């Protein structure tokens, strides 16, 4: 395994100056068209009876229909007391999605934890569930690339939330980490039903820079593929989280890492730098490291959770 410096010698000052790429001329039309199609799909969302419970929530199995007639599976955590008036959709990282999260910012919110198509509880015949190969599925075709379908799964999660909890219209939030942090950036600009979002160490930022910097994980497999199929770079321009961030118009909180061996820090900070609206002091939370264990990890995650309680309090 190649050894390299996972901060790429970028200081915080330099990271905050990484500029986002120019969008393809039809970038917004490409995603608006897909979003409008997703709105026409009825998710037929279902919750199982209570599978288990904890101090604040009842935990249910979740399923709903997304695009391509695929069934998405996951979990829902519903407050044990009171009327559900807010929902936060929580995405998982590559290699995650096997249990609902428990470190959550608010206790009076219903949480949906959908597993993205092809992964965890939403595995599909013929679709690799290993991140290294999942990220390459139909990567040569912008209409069929699996990341586009995973974005549609987020939009249908919003539709599912509104089916299950109609009183939450106008009070839906989104959280994503790494893999779904990047997907969330792609989903958020077009879905005005989502009012606030948080993305931790988000992936897919500045794809052309991402292809150049040494890295491990799924990004490395994309680099290898693009060396053999250079035309793929044109497809990746449509799946660039930093490009999409330029179109975001709602309060968005980014937790970006100064050092990360899997998701390059310049790509993470580029997403933040691309945001056109900076409304509150908690929009950027700087982590020492991402995708790694380190001495201050627990302390920083506690501080981040405190930030998110404030950030989502107005949802």
Residue ranges of domains in the chain, CATH in brackets: 24-312 (3.40.50.1820)
DSSP secondary structure, 67-107, as one string: GGGPEEEEEEEEESSS----EEEE---TT--SS-----S-S
So what's the pLDDT on residue 280? 56
Phi-psi region of 82 (alpha: psi -120 to 50; beta: other; left: phi over 0): left
CA 200 and chain centroid, separation: 8
pLDDT, tens digit (0-9, with 9 covering 90-100), for 137-187: 999 999 999 999 999 999 999 999 999 999 999 999 999 999 999 999 999
Mean pLDDT of the chain: 94
How high is the pLDDT of residue 2? 40
Q: What is the pLDDT of residues 199-247, one digit of tens each?
A: 999 999 999 999 999 888 899 999 999 999 999 999 999 999 999 999 9
Is the alpha carbon torsion for 184, 186, 192, 197 positive or negative? positive
User: In this predicted structure, what is the pLDDT of residue 96?
Assistant: 79
Q: pLDDT per residue over 51-105, tens digit each?
A: 888 889 999 999 999 999 999 999 999 999 989 999 999 999 998 778 888 789 9
Of 109, 114, 71, which Cα lies nearest the Cα of 91? 114
- Output the pTM of the full model: 0.96
The answer to whether 182 and 203 have CB atoms below 8 angstroms apart is yes
């Amino acid at each position: 395994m190649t050894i390299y410096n996972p901060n790429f010698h970028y200081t915080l000052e330099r990271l905050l100056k990484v500029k986002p790429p120019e969008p393809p001329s039809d970038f917004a039309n490409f995603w608006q068209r897909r979003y409008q199609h997703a709105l026409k799909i009825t998710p037929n969302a279902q919750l199982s009876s209570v599978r288990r419970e904890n101090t604040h929530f009842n935990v249910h199995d979740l399923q709903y229909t997304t695009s391509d007639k695929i069934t998405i599976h996951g979990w829902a955590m519903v407050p044990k007391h009171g009327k559900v008036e807010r929902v936060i959709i929580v995405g998982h990282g590559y290699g995650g999605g096997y249990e609902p999260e428990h470190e959550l910012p608010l206790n009076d919110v219903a949480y949906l934890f959908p597993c993205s198509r092809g992964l965890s509880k939403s595995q599909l015949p013929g679709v690799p569930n290993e991140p290294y190969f999942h990220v390459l599925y139909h990567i040569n075709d912008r209409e069929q690339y699996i990341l586009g379908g995973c974005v549609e799964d987020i939009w249908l999660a919003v539709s599912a939330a509104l089916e299950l909890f109609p009183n939450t219209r106008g009070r839906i939030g989104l959280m994503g980490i790494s893999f779904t942090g990047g997907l969330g950036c792609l989903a958020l600009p077009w879905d005005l039903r989502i009012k606030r979002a948080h993305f931790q160490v988000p992936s897919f930022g500045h794809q052309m820079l991402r292809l150049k910097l040494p890295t491990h994980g799924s990004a490395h497999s994309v680099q290898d593929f693009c060396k053999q199929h250079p035309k793929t770079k044109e497809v990746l321009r449509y799946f660039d989280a930093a490009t999409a961030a330029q179109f975001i118009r709602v309060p968005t909180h980014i937790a970006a890492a100064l050092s990360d061996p899997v998701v390059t820090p310049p790509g993470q900070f580029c997403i933040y730098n691309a945001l056109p609206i900076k409304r509150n002091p908690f929009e950027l939370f700087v982590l020492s490291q991402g995708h790694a264990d380190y001495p201050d990890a627990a302390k920083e995650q506690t501080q981040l959770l405190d930030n998110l309680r404030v950030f989502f309090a107005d949802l």
